[in-house]
Amino acid sequence: MTTLPGTSVPTRLDLTLDGGALTAQLVDFPSVSGEEEALADAVEQALRELPHLTVQRYGNNVVARTELGRGERVLLAGHLDTVPIADNLPSRVEGDLLWGCGTSDMKSGVAVQLRLAATLPDPNRDLTFVFYDCEEIEAARNGLGRLAAEHPDWLAADFAVLMEPSGAMVEGGCQGTMRIRIRLTGVRAHAARAWLGDNAIHHAAEVLGRLAAYQPRTVLIDGLEYREGLNAVDIRGGVAGNVIPDECQVTVNFRYAPDRGPADAEAHLREVFAGFDLEVTDSAPGALPGLDRPAAKAFVAATGGRARAKYGWTDVARFSALGVPAVNYGPGDPNLAHKRDEHCSLSAIAECEERLHAWLTGPTA
């Protein structure tokens, strides 16, 4: 392996390595969020050596595509950055496990993307490979978000697979999330003469009662079960130990199935909390799994036919906002992401690559 003089840091990537060894090479290229340039350079250089791909770059984001005029285009995406290193570099192998920062989240997924880019000159569907920066930090810097804003045409596809760690299960779409603040008011008074006041904290009882009585929906979309949830996540109020408080605020978080959009979600919350003063403080739409699309159906079949709904919000929603249905599927273990003892199974990496390879070379009908 070519390395920087005096260090074990590699300077180039070797796409002829197997997926596990390539993951190790990627892991040994430190790329904490904001410091992805050297790795983005190496990814770009390796892809430019492949004559069947057109390569574009924007910042530390690299996009490579085939242009074969196929009936469908699928997009495989992965982020290049990791959380801060925690004394867990360089990588090391122990039996079937590769240890090190980014092994699960998500350089094993990136390695599979690169292996597919190198080994599929003639895929059954046109392919777009997206490698982006700054996923692990504030949303404004997210490379996929910046690509979506500046070069949405680079992300055009019929179906997208985000290769985040999913334990090799297909996780479809994602829930939407909305936070609202409900403001309750009263009249301040001395606690010794409470009848002169009106206790705002007591008014929260009605809000909490509606939450306790609320029956969240479970929604089936493309065969996946999305469970909604409506919960108080913060409550604050009180002036002093001898004062009837005149204000109380309850913050409620609504996690909703992707058959609703943000406007629907807000209308629903205004109905549930009719009569109360409420304000939306945070909102992110969900994403439909799109498993009714032909490319997606074939994908689920090729990956073992098992799919579940994604709970939580991920970058798949950025694809959904562009009209591209998306799923999470990657060899890493989501429970090991961001941990000091992060590791990944080498056989899971090989299996993920094999399944995707079969999907992209098998019959498309």
**Interface residues toward Zn ion, by CB under 5 A:** 105-106, 164
| Least separation in angstroms between CB 79 and Zn ion | 6
Give the bridge partners for 277, in sequence order.
183
Q: What is the DSSP letter of 106?
A: I
Q: What is the DSSP letter of 105?
A: I
Q: At what angle do helices 294-302 and 346-359 cross, to 10 degrees?
A: 140
CA dist., res. 147 & res. 132, Å (int): 9
Known catalytic membership, residue 135: yes
CA dist., res. 313 & res. 175, Å (int): 6
Q: At what angle do helices 346-359 and 108-119 cross, to 10 degrees?
A: 40
Radius of gyration of the chain (CA): 24
| Least separation in angstroms between CB 264 and Zn ion | 29
CA dist., res. 255 & res. 149, Å (int): 25
CB closer to Zn ion, 106 vs 349: 106
CB closer to Zn ion, 33 vs 91: 33
CB closer to Zn ion, 28 vs 164: 164
Per DSSP, the three-state class of 271 is helix
Residue found by looking up tokens 């006041």 in the block: 197
Question: Distance between alpha carbon 21 and the CA centroid of its chain, in Å?
Answer: 25
Known catalytic membership, residue 171: no
Per DSSP, the three-state class of 248 is strand
| Least separation in angstroms between CB 105 and Zn ion | 4
CB closer to Zn ion, 164 vs 353: 164
CA dist., res. 300 & res. 159, Å (int): 12
CA dist., res. 15 & res. 301, Å (int): 27
Which residue in the list 105, 135, 246, 333 is annotated as catalytic? 135
| Least separation in angstroms between CB 27 and Zn ion | 14
| Least separation in angstroms between CB 81 and Zn ion | 8
Give the bridge partners for 329, in sequence order.
none
CB closer to Zn ion, 269 vs 337: 337
DSSP 278-316: EEEEEEE--B---TTSHHHHHHHHHTTS-EEEPPS--TH
CA dist., res. 220 & res. 354, Å (int): 30
Helix or strand (DSSP H, E) at 129 = strand 126-132
Residue of closest CB approach to Zn ion: 105
Which residue in the list 81, 228, 333, 342 is annotated as catalytic? 81
| Least separation in angstroms between CB 298 and Zn ion | 25
CB closer to Zn ion, 174 vs 221: 174
Give the bridge partners for 189, in sequence order.
244
CB closer to Zn ion, 105 vs 228: 105
| Least separation in angstroms between CB 284 and Zn ion | 17
Residues belonging to the active site? 81, 135
